[in-house]
Structure 1
Amino acid sequence: MFLTDENQGLEWHVRYKIIKGICLGIKHLREGLKKPVWHLDLKPENILLDREMMPKIADFGLSRLIGDERKRKSMNNFGTCGYLPPEYVSLQLLSEAFDIFSLGVIITKIMIGNDGYNKFVDLPHRKLINQVRNNWKKRLQDTVRPGSLDAYCLQVKTCIDLAKRCLNKDRHQRPDIKKIVSTLDEAEIMIPLQMEQV
């Protein structure tokens, strides 16, 4: 199934598992192969979910091996509107930060949906984080033990903060995938592997 098929009614722990899995997939493309790969068309339609809701990145038709040249101009059309970083839209510049911008859009949509993305993406950084955290806090109050609520809310805050940083208009200010994964690892430490039910 595609990520877009199941996004609506998912509990937080499943959404987090999907976010982390996508990030680990991108990290593998960058660090786990002989030559790093840029996907250049990351979007929910190119992310498949298995029965355990583990994401698999698909459709490598536009992907490119990263050579010695770390950034280059492209005359070809890459990506999908809405997931393209501003430096590509205005200058046709390809860089390692291309997929990171797309990842920021995906994480935001996983957390707040398509409608929420369009409504909240232009909010100032802190206001967006507070809005998303408060919305999830209300939902989580019914599904986790009170002692775990703060830890889950911190995880929500971490994810939306990462997403917003990935969406930075300045590609040099976006975090790299290694930093993203390590930040998610830190947010996981205080939370049990399976969601605690009341």
Structure 2
Amino acid sequence: MGCFSTFCKKRRATRQPSSHHNEDVPGCSNITKYTYKELVRATNNFNPLNKIGEGGFGSVYKLRNGTVIAVKVLSSESRQGVREFLNELVAISDISHDNLVKLYGYCAEGDQRILVYNHLENNSLAQTLLGSSHSNIQFDWKTRVNICLGIARGLAYLHHGVSPHIVHRDIKASNILLDRDLTPKISDFGLAKLLPPNATHVSTRVAGTLGYLAPEYAIRGQVTRKSDVYSFGVLLLEIVCGRSNSDTRLAYGDQILLEKFPEITNGALLLQTWMHYEQGSLERIIDRSLGGGDLDVAQACRFLKVGLLCTQDVTRHRPDMPRVVAMLTGEWDVEPETVSKPAIISDFMDLKVRSTRKASDNVATPPTSSSTFLSSLMAHSSPLLSNESTQASMAFTGVSDRE
């Protein structure tokens, strides 16, 4: 941190006029604005020899003074890239929380759209806990509990601790970064939406990642804080079970899922967890690598039940994030809570998927035929299903329209 401060001070002292206008972004006066020349000089023209890796957030460079930073370069050729850049700046420029990434500065000069973040040493949950490659990090049960609680508290802060409230829209394992102490940091606010006062949802184009998308959002394009709650519920299951929601590997005796849902990919873990909940055997789906360590089986089963509560079909039945935090800490008893069948959006639903910002991020658009789409929902139909277009832009629903 000190090294980066030194770099910031140096940039102010050596600032020179640039031939390209470095745009001011409204509402972001409290973060450092770099010129492209300064970033080029600091990274030695983004020299591959100074690049020490790819972090969960972008390219990681070691500067000439030894500072390590994460540089996120957004597409300068598409309107989507510029829109995500502005979204990210506005969403996080004026907020601070232990479980959110910290933005140090930006460059908006000419066609350049660059964000500068502090580098987080242990990459993302997707790479370390859920990735196929070997990780040296020991994700014991205590570590996983702290990660789950940190993410939940970060989301609770976004949803209820700032005004206007912020809906992240892309909560997933690859957007949870880990620092040296394995403290989780919610990252990538490129899809974030600000929720205006007295509004219950924002209607917008559907964007996000299959397997984490809440059905009412994927179908109608209506973003609410409960959309993030759904995504968190999926992520919670992944952390406890040690595998991704799209992982179709089954525990011994669970082959019945292949008979009921032969085409299932995204949502496999959620379905499997629900099946074990119904059978009273949640302990069977807990990550086997936790066996024999500090695992608290009762607590792990409680976390799995909270994940199912977060992914319920009817949005009003999902707890809000402050309630989720209380459930995870044990301050709120989850035993009396009734869990209904989870809602699942999967790629067997005849969704049209097109790539957006990167290969792992998908935008899903409902098919034009409502009969095809509805029949594909099978037993997971949502009361929010509609044939309405998801292309509406920034339409708000007031408190009086709440369900």
Scaled to the shorter chain, the TM-score interval is: 0.7 to 0.9
**Structure-2 change in CA distance of 1:167 and 1:16 (3 Å):** same
Alignment of 1:73 onto 2:195: no
* 1:35 aligned partner: 164
CA–CA distance in structure 2, aligned partners of residues 165 and 176 of structure 1: 10
Amino acid at match of 2:200: R
Match of 1:107, SS? Answer: helix
Alignment of 1:55 onto 2:184: yes
Correspondence list, 1:52-131, <5 A: 52-67=181-196, 68-74=198-204, 76-112=205-241, 113-114=243-244, 115=247, 118-123=267-272, 125=274, 127-128=276-277, 130-131=280-281
* 1:194 aligned partner: none
Contact 1:155–1:187 at 8 Å: present in 2 too? Answer: no
**Structure-2 change in CA distance of 1:72 and 1:127 (3 Å):** same
Contact 1:39–1:63 at 8 Å: present in 2 too? Answer: yes
CA–CA distance in structure 1, aligned partners of residues 285 and 217 of structure 2: 33
CA–CA distance in structure 2, aligned partners of residues 91 and 119 of structure 1: 23
**Structure-2 change in CA distance of 1:34 and 1:161 (3 Å):** same
Unaligned 5+ segments in structure 2 are 1-122, 131-137, 250-265, 333-403
**Structure-2 change in CA distance of 1:137 and 1:86 (3 Å):** closer
**Structure-2 change in CA distance of 1:13 and 1:100 (3 Å):** same
CA–CA distance in structure 1, aligned partners of residues 287 and 213 of structure 2: 31
Alignment of 1:16 onto 2:145: yes
* 1:186 aligned partner: 330
**Structure-2 change in CA distance of 1:98 and 1:137 (3 Å):** closer
> In the TM superposition, what is the alpha-carbon distance from 1:77 to its structure 2 partner?
2.8
The structure with the largest helix share of the pair is 1
> In the TM superposition, what is the alpha-carbon distance from 1:128 to its structure 2 partner?
3.7
Deviations 1:85-111 (A, max 9, x none): 010121112112110011011111112
CA–CA distance in structure 2, aligned partners of residues 185 and 97 of structure 1: 20
> In the TM superposition, what is the alpha-carbon distance from 1:163 to its structure 2 partner?
0.5
Contact 2:167–2:223 at 8 Å: present in 1 too? Answer: no
Q: CA RMSD in A?
A: 2.5
Amino acid at match of 2:309: R
Contact 1:46–1:57 at 8 Å: present in 2 too? Answer: yes
Unaligned 5+ segments in structure 1 are 189-198
* 1:6 aligned partner: 128
Deviations 1:58-101 (A, max 9, x none): 11111111112212322x23222221101012111211211001
Match of 2:169, SS? Answer: coil
Contact 1:154–1:187 at 8 Å: present in 2 too? Answer: no
* 2:395 aligned partner: none
The structure with the largest strand share of the pair is 2
> In the TM superposition, what is the alpha-carbon distance from 1:23 to its structure 2 partner?
0.2
Match of 2:293, SS? Answer: coil
Match of 2:330, SS? Answer: helix
CA–CA distance in structure 2, aligned partners of residues 128 and 160 of structure 1: 9
**Structure-2 change in CA distance of 1:43 and 1:177 (3 Å):** same
Higher relative contact order (CA 8 A, sep 6+): 1
Contact 1:133–1:157 at 8 Å: present in 2 too? Answer: yes
CA–CA distance in structure 1, aligned partners of residues 318 and 210 of structure 2: 19
Show structure 1 runs of 4+ deviating over 3 A.
Answer: 116-120, 123-126, 128-132, 134-141
Alignment of 1:172 onto 2:316: yes
Count how many residue pairs are aligned between Structure 1 and Structure 2.
Answer: 181
Contact 2:309–2:318 at 8 Å: present in 1 too? Answer: yes
